[in-house]
Amino acid sequence: MKVDRVIKLGGSAITRKDQLETLKLGELESGAKLVKRCVDNHLNCVIVHGAGCFGHFHAKEYSVVSGCQKLTGDSQARAAKGFVLTRQSVTKLNKLVVDCLISNSVPAVSVSPCSSWKTRDGKVLRDGVDVVADLLEKGFVPVLHGDCCLDTIRGWTILSGDTIIQTICEKLTVDTVVFLTDVEGVYDRPPSDANANLLPEILVQEGGTTVDVITRTTGCDVTGGIKQKIDSAVGVVTQTKGSTSVFVCGINAPVAQRVCLSGVSESRGDGTLIRLAETGT
């Protein structure tokens, strides 16, 4: 099935990652209006949002990504509590995101991965992409999110939104993936660094990229931060042999609307395009 846009609403873009369960209401509204414009332009869309400060705090405190392997008694009960609290928090955010989309006349439908996705030591073993495809065929906009899921080795773990995106691109024919973030794109070092430079593009070759990016994650980020996003983007580009375009930009940047509506040809040098390097590059 053909998917026009997979849009990632980054956790840092729509929540305040240093404050427990706090939305950036203006940014979420901007993202919802952008999705509405895509729908009005007859583009079918899948929305995936990060957890940000909904979920990451609990996941880190209880080491949910590590699961319950070899835990017993009180330790296992505590780990299970972490799973429950993390799920409660991420589904709370999912409802807020879906509510905002619906209030902007987007036919959004929540698709929580916990019930249909399963991993084996963190790698996707079973996915729910067929549900996503079925909803798209009926004209809905599926809304997925980073979530807890069961794992055949660890017992359970964290499934990141970026891994979900990569799996969707593997199973369906996706034209463009747009990562909407709290910064203008991918930098060669943390954007807070005075010497940071925005990378207009990252060329992907077999085995990696042609540039080195110095990454740093926040204290509550349990899914790898920008490094995970770059790795997933590289995976999308390589597994689709460049047929899926990947773009990273700020959620409020004018380029976000241009790329979501018209594709990466309208990036005009803003944001970061991640693409397959030409032979010999």
With respect to residue 281, please indicate whether it lies within any of the assigned structural domains: no
Q: What is the pLDDT of residue 210?
A: 55
Whether residue 125 is contained in a domain is answered as: yes
pLDDT for res 214:
55
What is the structure's pLDDT at 166? Answer: 95
Cα of 158 vs its chain's centroid, Å: 13
Task: Tell me the three state secondary structure of residue 99.
Answer: helix
Share of the chain above pLDDT 90, in %: 77
> Is 78 inside a domain boundary?
yes
Q: Indicate whether 279 pLDDT > 70.
A: no
pLDDT averaged over every residue in the chain: 91
Q: How many domains does the chain have?
A: 1
Residue 3 predicted with pLDDT over 60? yes
Residue 129 maps to a domain = yes
pLDDT tens-digit readout, 197-235? 999 999 888 766 555 565 554 444 444 456 777 888 898
Q: Is the pLDDT of residue 164 over 90?
A: yes
Torsion over CA of 19, 166, 111 and 172, rounded to 10 degrees? Answer: 160
Collapsed DSSP state (helix, strand, coil) of residue 29: helix
Could you tell me the CATH number of the domain that includes residue 104? Answer: 3.40.1160.10
Q: Which domain holds residue 211?
A: 2-276
HSE of 92, CA atoms in CB hemisphere, 13 A: 16
Region 120-143 average pLDDT: 98
* Residue 209: predicted pLDDT: 56
Nearest to 207 by CA among 175, 232, 238, 184: 238
Per-residue pLDDT averaged across 165-194, rounded? 93
Residue 52 vs residues 15, 161, 225: alpha-carbon distances, Å: 6, 11, 10
- How confident is the model over 92-103, as pLDDT tens digits? 999 999 999 999
Residue type, 173: T
Identify whether the C-beta of residue 153 lies closer than 8 Å to the C-beta of residue 69.
Answer: yes
With a cut of 90, say whether residue 76 has pLDDT above it: yes
* Domain membership flag for residue 221: yes
The pLDDT of residue 70 is: 87
